[in-house]
A and B are shown apart, each in its own frame.
Chain A
Amino acid sequence: MIKQVIDECFREVFIEIMGGPAPDINENSVLLETGLDSIGFAILVTTLEGKLGFDPFSLSNEAQYPITFGEFYEFYEKYK
């Protein structure tokens, strides 16, 4: 469920910010190497907060940030 929301939101934000179709992503894709820049990534996180009602980046006490999409999905699952 969360994965779906994230994937859909990523595609929408990518098209809006980068002006072209989003690349295919999988669990091993690196979050910041999809071509979406850091402002775009920040917009993705803010948009997800609007849709899901929370932002794990501001809630988390984890030792590290997610690096791949797989870790990103888990990160959101954990704090939902």
Chain B
Amino acid sequence: MSFMKNTSNFSIYHWLKQLPPERQIVPGITYEQLLKQVNNLSVKNKIVVIQNADIAEFLTVLIAAILSAKKIILLPDELTRDASEALLRDVDVDLYINGSGKLSSALRPDIQSCCEQLKKRNDCKIVIATSGTTQSPKLVEHSFASLTNSVSKKKIDGAEIRWGLVYDFNRFAGLQVVFHSMLAGATLLPAYKHTDTSRLIEYLSVNRCTHLSATPTLWRKMLMHPAIGSLQLDKITLGGEIVHPDVLQKLVAKFPEAKITHIYASTEVGVGFSVTDRQAGFPISYLDNTKSGVDIKIDDGTLWVRNVDSVGKYLNDKDSLKISEGYVDTGDKVKIEGNRVFFIGRRSGVINIGGNKIHPEQVEEVLLSFPDVLLARSYPILSSIVGNLVGAEIVVSKETNFDVAKLKTHCRKFLPKFAVPARISLVQNLKNHKSGKIER
């Protein structure tokens, strides 16, 4: 059985339909059962929004949408109602599916079904939110093709494959895992609720997880857990943060037989390319050929990616993606050393703490709202555990009696935990640009 990459001839419906009837899409639900639900869902030519769904609802709506909807917009659960409404202000939503149990109102058992007539339709736009933290995220429009261009063309029988899903399925990284699992006819293990490492490893082990995609930070946490030996993994994927050699080395030692891949991808450009030689960075030869169907180039120290399958545009946003000759500016700074290209951080200064991102300006705003803080600069501190931590320098009006501990408490009130500066230094002055902005 094979999944054909050429989506114009590919029917996800036929693909899923020919899987063995007992094959489970998630533990407890077969592909066959899920497809019955899909048949009952009428989303033909609609713009569908989904939020707060459980995994079964999500998969049902996603497959139905790919078959016949005009557009499906995936909203992260943590987005507030106001933020969700603001994002959708200019979108004519036909169907908003919110929360477990609400799906029934969208089910039309009498309509049997759009899917039958539209088995080959794959032109549904899939809209995903960027990982804005306290700042509003943006919505990026993709297609089924752009989101599945990295899925293997090789013949795969997913009978023995069990993909662990530790990411939010509404977001790019999670959706990738969903597609990899579904298009291999594999079983998806929804593990994202287990934030405790012990429980996570136990769940993955009990459910015989074979394939797992996670951030380097989560891999480090799991590798520092005594139960890591209970996992038997065939495929290991890393993404979402810069991958350093240490974590690759430990993964190779612990799982010598596993295929270990790190992925370069982003919500904006889709999947860029993957690296399988178990080393950090990527070979310089990728600048000529990534072997992943996308083209890349380095311009002024920044990586640009051209993904022909990617729709690559923001929905309802004045700032469009920066594009030149089809290449999208990723904002990721790189350096070349020998025959290798290494990532060194974000041009915008965004700090990535174990996959969670924060703009330094947001940290500075909170620091400046504390009495006696006159100037503030926030910056990334390299961390061998979570990639980066947040550091800050401040100028205060009176250094005597200034209480840094109180300032940290203030930050904890107004910033997510990962964004609270781990180190705050008092300095005499901060350099300014001519524009008056703090120099970064």
**Which A residues are within 8 Å of any B CB, using their own CB?**
16, 30-33, 37-39, 41-43, 45-47, 50, 55, 57-58, 60-68
Q: Chain B nearest CB: distance from A60 CB in Å?
A: 7
CB contact between B253 and one of A47, A58, A63, A67 (< 8 Å): that residue = A63
Roughly how many angstroms separate A55 CA and B385 CA in the complex, as a whole number?
Answer: 10
B250 and A46 within 8 A (CB) = no
Residue of A nearest to B405 (CB): A16
Kindly provide the distance from the CB of B89 to the nearest chain A CB, expressed in whole angstroms.
Answer: 35
B interface list, Cβ under 8 A from A: 197-198, 217, 220-221, 223-226, 244, 246, 249-250, 253-254, 353-354, 381-386, 389, 405, 408, 417-418, 422-423
B250 touches A63 (CB 8 A): yes
In the complex, besides A42-B354, A45-B383, 6 extra interface pairs with C-beta distance below 8 angstroms are: A39-B417, A45-B384, A46-B423, A58-B244, A63-B250, A64-B223
Question: DSSP class of A's interface residues: helix, strand, loop or mixed?
Answer: helix
What residues of chain B lie closer than 8 Å to A30, measured between beta carbons? 225-226
Q: A33-B198, A63-B249 are in contact. Are A42 and B383 (CB under 8 A)?
A: yes
Tell me if B250 and A67 are in contact (CB < 8 A). no
Return 18 A-B CB contacts under 8 Å, by A number: A16-B405, A30-B225, A31-B224, A32-B197, A32-B221, A33-B198, A39-B354, A39-B417, A45-B383, A45-B385, A46-B381, A57-B384, A58-B244, A58-B246, A58-B384, A63-B254, A64-B250, A64-B253
Q: Are B246 and A57 in contact (CB under 8 A)?
A: yes
What residues of chain B lie closer than 8 Å to A38, measured between beta carbons? 217, 220-221, 354, 385-386
- Which residues does chain A contribute within 8 Å of B386, judged by CB atoms? 38-39, 42
User: Is A32 a contact of B224 with CB atoms below 8 Å?
Assistant: yes
B422 touching A46, Cβ below 8 Å: yes
Chain A residues within an 8 Å CB radius of B225: 30, 32, 67
Q: A38-B221, A38-B354, A43-B389 are in contact. Are A65 and B384 (CB under 8 A)?
A: no
User: Closest CB of chain A to B425's CB: distance in Å?
Assistant: 11
Determine if A61 and B249 form an interchain contact, defined as CB atoms under 8 angstroms apart: yes
Bound: A76/B76 CA distance, A: 41
Contact assessment for B224 and A65 in the assembled complex, using a CB-CB cutoff below 8 Å: yes
**Shortest distance in angstroms between A54's beta carbon and chain B's nearest beta carbon?**
11
The minimal Cβ–Cβ distance linking A34 to chain B, given in whole angstroms, is 12
CA distance A37 to B386 in the complex (A): 11
Distance between Cα atoms of A45 and B220 in the complex (Å): 13
- Asked if A39 contacts B353 (CB within 8 A), the reply is yes
For the complex, what is the distance from the CA of A42 to the CA of B422, rounded to whole Å? 9
**B residues less than 8 Å from A16 (CB atoms):** 405, 408
